[in-house]
Structure 1
Amino acid sequence: MRVFNQFDTNRDGKISPVELKQCVASIGGEMTAEEAEAAVVLMDSDCDGLLNLEDFVKIVEGANEEEKGNDLKEAFKMYEMEGSGCITPKSLRRMLCRLGERRSVEDCKNIIGYFDLNEDGVLNFDEFKVMMSC
């Protein structure tokens, strides 16, 4: 709520497209007036041309989800086998060793087997997301 109040510069309990644009600029981003207007139209639940607190929370949560997804993609790249698009028992073992956790290839097969939904012996990105959520 404190963040919302900081962006609600005229203290009317709503964030206008102009305030949204200023908000994005204050955190180092760029947004045109047209983009701010489009974002408000898209997220405005009561169709008054302004964002209330609930609308703002949805935007922030969406941004957090996108950031989490990007973080997971970066983590997946660290574990996958040289651009193969999957995590093999060997690549999992290699990464765990780098993190200071010694595991055998057999242990890694068992870990992968637990999360390997399509039973192909490796983890794809979707399976990796499931594993990381546990």
Structure 2
Amino acid sequence: MEKNEQYMNVFNQFDSNKDGKICPLELKQCVETLGGEMAAEEAEAAVVLVDSDGDGLLNLEDFVRIVEGANEEEKTRDLKEAFKMYELSGSGYITPKSLRRILCRLGERRSVEDCKNMIGYFDLNGDGVLNFDEFKVMMSC
């Protein structure tokens, strides 16, 4: 099943009155059914933010933008958690030594020189370490 078809199926499931639109209450129910939490005020704010035609409701395209935006936020949160594992005590960057330490914990033996080379490939500003933005690029490859 293609991603757009999946979105349409979910959209149609929560479009309780089958008018081709999702109201804030239906959006709130959708989020809660999927295991999340959303206050009524948050649902209304989300609809206002994304509503492309100003009718106070979400059409399928609006719904897809919300879902994909939530997926991106979740990915960024997950990457930030992973980044924290690699960086040295909140320093804001990954050094060759901190990379080596984590790789060793994961059972992959690498020298500091190997780690320098790995970092060098994604070190966009040439400072010898990876900041979060560089780490995101690395993880997307």
TM over 0.5: yes
Structure 1 position 78 matched with structure 2 position 85:
yes
The aligned amino acid for 1:83 is G
Q: Deviations over 1:49-100 (max 9, x none)?
A: 2101110000000000000000000000111112211111011011111122
Percent identity between the aligned chains? Answer: 85
Q: Report the equivalent of 2:4.
A: none
TM-score, with length taken from structure 2: 0.88
Q: Deviations over 1:87-123 (max 9, x none)?
A: 1101101111112211111010011111111111111
- CA RMSD in angstroms, aligned pairs only: 1.3
Structure 1: unaligned runs, 5 residues or longer: none
Give the stretch that moved more between structures: 27-36 or 10-19. 27-36
Matches within 5 A, 1:37-116: 37-116=44-123
The aligned amino acid for 1:7 is F
Give the stretch that moved more between structures: 64-73 or 19-28. 19-28
Q: Report the equivalent of 1:13.
A: 20
Q: Give the total of aligned pairs.
A: 134
The aligned amino acid for 1:62 is G
TM-score, with length taken from structure 1: 0.92
